[in-house]
Structure 1
Amino acid sequence: MPITIADVAARAKVSKTTVSRVLNGKGELDESTAARVRAVIEELGYVPSARAVNLARGRTRVIGMLVPSLTWPWMGEVLQGAVDVLEAEEYGLLLFTFNRGDDSMRQFAAQVAAKSFDGLLAIEPEGTLSYLVTLHNRGLPMVLIDDRDQIAGGQIPTVGTTNHSGAADAARHLLGIGRHKPLVITGPSRFGCTVQRTDGFSSAFAEAGHPIPDTYVLPGDFTVACGSDGVKQAIAAGLDFDAVFCHNDLSAFGAVQAVQDAGRRVPEDVAVVGFDDIPMAAHHQPALSTVHQPMREMGEAAARTLLAHFEGTALPNRPTVIPATFTARASTQP
């Protein structure tokens, strides 16, 4: 059987509280008593639970992370960035998803109540923002990742990227290769990133003297199917377009397929641009031109912000912004 703190206390003829104080360096103890306890610990080969020691010190050295789902194409990049920073500082990660809706949140809330982690990184699942704001206001250190700062109202520190200027860069690339009639397939209108990407792209075309008609902007939902369906609808409606800008890479994959199924060439007849730069974008046929979101860097920055707070640095009161960059590949350049 494993040696317990009770075994150490019995052999050293002290209380378990005294053993705990020796282990954690807390409280004033007679040096001879402390030496006797340390000798018994060595003699018995007692190894204290790291979790128990950290809890006694008021810290778990565990960070919670709440995400909507692990199926989002770029989620792995965010997680890896956060984990790289946390592991380097000998912190663990406790991961929660929103896959089961209210049941998932009840499980998460139970872990919050149990103080199972020191702070939280979150890509806010829809409908949970007010709860997260409440937790933050009650003292749970927290950093949000992605575009949710648009609705957080500055109440929670955030790490995001430049959706507006990233989309504008995509527009200027298309204008630079002579494409003046783009079709736009958006993301869900309730997302801040959708508004930013639409505005950035449309503004660049308007400034160049080629405003985009409303009929050329089609709603999407970030799926392959919405990209395919949008192109098919545009062709059926007789829209004359020479480019497609999709608000994410998955919908861009669908758009490429629909353009090719219609007998048109990519990029010779229709150039296609996505947004995100998920790993598959570079390996797609043709390789996808896209706006690179610095997802790993965002995960790293969020984790560093939280750990710095534990060392005494105040959480920032303005968003941390890591710029997006445009990457040109074969879907716009023969």
Structure 2
Amino acid sequence: MPITIADVASRAGVSKTTVSRVLNGKGEVDQRTADRVRAVITDLGYVPSARAVGLARGRTRVVGMLVPALTWPWMGEVLQGAVDMVESAGYGLLLSTFNRGEESMRQFASQVSAKSFDGLLVIEPEGSLDYIAELHGRGLPVVLIDDRGHQRPFPSVATTNRSGGESAARHLLELGRRRPLVIKGCEDFGCTEERLAGFAEAYDAAGLPLDPRLVVEGDFTFGSGSLAVKGLIEAGLDFDAVFAHNDLSAGGALQAIREKGRRVPEDVAVVGFDDIPYAAHTDPPLTTVHQPMREMGEAAARMLLSHFAGVPLPDTPNVIPTTLIVRGSTRAPLPANRRVLGPGRPKPEPLQQQIR
């Protein structure tokens, strides 16, 4: 049987509270008693759990993390960034998902009640915001990792969804693409609104406002990208580019374009968003807007760890910029006679981008 703190207390003739005080270096125990307790600990080979010692000291050296699910395509990158930072500081990570809805939230609430972690990293599960805000209001340090573009009542790490959409548009404009199809993400995500706004503003500035018939609903899935492309081609609507709000729907669009007998990028250029590993392995490889998801996980964890060391949590979001990654799905330029951007409109300035 494992040796417990009660065994140590019984052998030393003291209370469990006294043993706990000796373990945690508190000065309320006289030297002779402390020496006797330490001798018993050595004789019995008692090893206190790190969690018990942490709780006695008022901290666990554990960071909690709440996420919707592990199936989101970029979730692994965020987790890896957070884990790298947390473990390098000698902390553990307690991960909770929201896969089972209310049951998951009850289980998470029990971890909160047990004070199982010192602070919380959050990728907001649907319907959890009010509860997380309440926890923050009660004093739990919380940092949101937010790719949705919503302002939250606690510190956050975000990225530049609007300028990411703009960079995709400017790239397509430089290639002379005048009629883009936009496949949106989920309607209730702020990132969907921001990516569309940045993209539309760039086309408006070039004198080429988006055709509303070419802005279609999607849900970030491969199937939604495929259905959008097939539906518009079958309806006889012409487009020479696709901007999809994530890489999975861009991959679906790319496949559907080829199934309908059109070439990528010669006939239709395709741009995604996120730069998940899948993007580099489509045929052709996908041009996409890189979201710095690993960096966001690292930055959020660093923010929380700094707070544990006495640094106040910031009032404004830490924003890490996106980067356009150019690959084969857009690289081939159109003929010169299709590179006019609109009457009297100058060509946009060259983009800062990476080519892979």
- Displacement, 1:129? 0.8
- Give deviations 1:137-195, integer Å, cap 9, x for gaps: 1111101112355152xx11111100000111111111111211111000112110000
Identity within the alignment, %: 70
Could you say which residue in structure 2 is the equivalent of 1:174? 172
Unaligned runs of 5+ in 1: none
Q: 1:316 aligns with which of 314, 319, 327?
A: 314
Runs of 4+ in 1 over 6 A off after TM superposition: none
* Equivalent-residue separation in structure 1 for 2:275 and 2:312 (angstroms): 33
Could you say which residue in structure 2 is the equivalent of 1:120? 120
1:7-46 to 2 correspondences below 5 Å: 7-46=7-46
- Displacement, 1:36? 2.0
Is the 2:226–2:255 Cα contact (8 Å) retained in structure 1? Answer: yes
Secondary structure of 1:36's counterpart equals helix
Could you say which residue in structure 2 is the equivalent of 1:250? 248
* Equivalent-residue separation in structure 2 for 1:131 and 1:44 (angstroms): 45
* Equivalent-residue separation in structure 1 for 2:87 and 2:268 (angstroms): 45
Secondary structure of 1:172's counterpart equals helix
- Give deviations 1:20-41, integer Å, cap 9, x for gaps: 1110012322122212222221
Secondary structure of 2:182's counterpart equals strand
- Give deviations 1:233-286, integer Å, cap 9, x for gaps: 211222221100000000000000110011000001100000000011111111
1:261-272 to 2 correspondences below 5 Å: 261-272=259-270
* Equivalent-residue separation in structure 2 for 1:280 and 1:146 (angstroms): 22
Secondary structure of 2:150's counterpart equals helix
Could you say which residue in structure 1 is the equivalent of 2:351? none
* Equivalent-residue separation in structure 2 for 1:287 and 1:250 (angstroms): 13
- Displacement, 1:10? 2.4
Q: CA RMSD in A?
A: 1.2
* Equivalent-residue separation in structure 2 for 1:98 and 1:11 (angstroms): 46
* Equivalent-residue separation in structure 2 for 1:129 and 1:36 (angstroms): 51
* Equivalent-residue separation in structure 1 for 2:158 and 2:176 (angstroms): 31
- Displacement, 1:46? 1.2
Could you say which residue in structure 2 is the equivalent of 1:134? 134
1:31-110 to 2 correspondences below 5 Å: 31-110=31-110
* Equivalent-residue separation in structure 1 for 2:149 and 2:96 (angstroms): 20
Is the 1:247–1:275 Cα contact (8 Å) retained in structure 2? Answer: yes
Is the 1:82–1:302 Cα contact (8 Å) retained in structure 2? Answer: yes
TM-score normalised by the chain length of structure 1:
0.97
Q: Say whether residues 1:162 and 2:122 are aligned partners.
A: no
Larger displacement relative to structure 2 (216-225 or 21-30): 21-30
- Give deviations 1:168-225, integer Å, cap 9, x for gaps: 1111111111211111000112110000000000111111221112111111000001
Is the 1:272–1:331 Cα contact (8 Å) retained in structure 2? Answer: yes
Is the 1:66–1:97 Cα contact (8 Å) retained in structure 2? Answer: yes
Is the 1:187–1:222 Cα contact (8 Å) retained in structure 2? Answer: yes
Q: 1:273 aligns with which of 271, 274, 280?
A: 271
* Equivalent-residue separation in structure 2 for 1:222 and 1:203 (angstroms): 22
Is the 2:148–2:192 Cα contact (8 Å) retained in structure 1? Answer: no
Alpha carbons of structure 1 residues 98 and 311: separation in structure 2 relative to 1, 3 Å? same
Could you say which residue in structure 1 is the equivalent of 2:183? 185
- Displacement, 1:11? 2.5
- Displacement, 1:120? 0.9
Q: How many residues align?
A: 332
Amino acid at match of 1:127: G
Is the 1:181–1:243 Cα contact (8 Å) retained in structure 2? Answer: yes
Q: 1:241 aligns with which of 226, 239, 242?
A: 239
- Displacement, 1:296? 0.4
* Equivalent-residue separation in structure 2 for 1:96 and 1:5 (angstroms): 30
- Displacement, 1:97? 1.1
Secondary structure of 2:52's counterpart equals helix
Larger displacement relative to structure 2 (111-120 or 288-297): 111-120
Larger displacement relative to structure 2 (321-330 or 94-103): 94-103
* Equivalent-residue separation in structure 1 for 2:3 and 2:133 (angstroms): 43
Is the 2:149–2:191 Cα contact (8 Å) retained in structure 1? Answer: no
Is the 1:159–1:302 Cα contact (8 Å) retained in structure 2? Answer: yes
